Structure 1
Amino acid sequence: MVDQFDERKVNQVVDEGKGYELPLLLFAGFRTLIDRLNTRLAAEGHPELRPAHGFAMQAVAAGGPAGATASDIGRRLGVSKQAAGKTVDRLLAVGYAERADDPADARRKLVRLTPHGLDALARHAAIFDELRAEWAAVLGAERVRDLETALKTVVPPETAYRLDATSWLGGA
């Protein structure tokens, strides 16, 4: 027999443990940083960039000067080749990336960042450094370092940069 819903029991469980707050606070911190980053990027001449674009450009840049394939980008982001391809198509459309032939394999196309994309990526890095410094000014540099160290301890290295959030938020 199923117990009747008892709001007091639910409230007691919620009040006793605040474990649910940790993922919410981590996500809210992430969103705060990314939202502030994109506001700054828009003000600095990159209004068409969206959060996924910065991560995709990092995945492209990880391929080195020659570029990266859509499969490489997808693997680095933890998304399908098709999902990576959609993001790459948008980067191409707004001038942040270009396609090039792979000199090692004529059947493959590489994606490279354009000067506009490289500028955006450099601004990403500088703004993230400034945002981190702002957090350090509020929390203290040692606390921010401790937070980063602690997260590196509990986050498996192979998943640290995966962005396949849609797969665990109910999307495709």
Structure 2
Amino acid sequence: MSATADGRPAYDRPGYELPLLLLAGFRTIIDELHAELARQGHPHARPAHGFAMQAIGPGGATASEVGRRLGVSKQAAGKTIDRLEALGYAERFDDPADGRRKLVRLTARGVDALTRSAAIFDELRSRWVAAVGADRLAGLEDTLRSVVSPAAFGVDTVSWLAP
């Protein structure tokens, strides 16, 4: 049986530490991602932008669809889309099927940011493999998959982090 650093049995750890450790791991990876994205030409990209670009997707979407995918209001999605437009990551255009609707799609810059993010995430995972070992990291990932609902893999995380 393993013990904590202060000698307590592993099963006797306070419950609040687990979510804090998971959040700290998430924050560490996201902070490192954005530092590298900045070095690679995307200094203004923020975590919310990544979630929003994922919600827009490769085929584009309306502000309402982006809002639903993110779990935020159409107005909040619209503000995020405005920011993505200002940064050159997205653009609005008339829906060819319905001229009353506006669609938003990623620009080449937006696609570049997502492509670079994917490569950076792979590099960050490689660093974790180097730090803890491939088997331990794979075991952690497998364990998390066994307790995390597949529905948790959505991009609506932004909505429950907001006040």
TM-score range, shorter chain: 0.7 to 0.9
Please give the TM-score of this superposition, normalised by the length of structure 2.
Answer: 0.85
Question: Paired residue for 2:19, among 19, 23, 29?
Answer: 23
Moved more, 111-120 or 76-85: 76-85
Please give the TM-score of this superposition, normalised by the length of structure 1.
Answer: 0.81
Paired residues, what number? 150
**SS state of the match for residue 49, structure 1?**
coil
Classify 1:74/1:150 alpha carbon distance in 2 versus 1 (closer, same or farther; 3 Å): farther
User: How far 1:105 moved relative to its partner?
Assistant: 2.0
Query: Highest CA radius of gyration, 1 or 2?
Result: 1
The CA distance in 1 between the partners of 2:100 and 2:146, in whole Å, is 41
User: How far 1:85 moved relative to its partner?
Assistant: 1.5
The CA distance in 2 between the partners of 1:166 and 1:132, in whole Å, is 24
User: How far 1:106 moved relative to its partner?
Assistant: 1.9
Partner of 1:144: 137
Dislocated runs of 4+, deviation >4 Å: none
Classify 1:147/1:75 alpha carbon distance in 2 versus 1 (closer, same or farther; 3 Å): farther
The CA distance in 2 between the partners of 1:107 and 1:55, in whole Å, is 26
Query: Which structure ranks higher in relative contact order (CA pairs < 8 Å, sequence separation ≥ 6)?
Result: 2
Unaligned runs of 5+ residues in structure 2 are 1-11
Unaligned runs of 5+ residues in structure 1 are 1-15
Match runs of 1:155-170 below 5 Å: 155-161=148-154, 162-163=156-157, 164-167=159-162
* Identical counterparts, % of pairs: 64
Partner of 2:28: 32
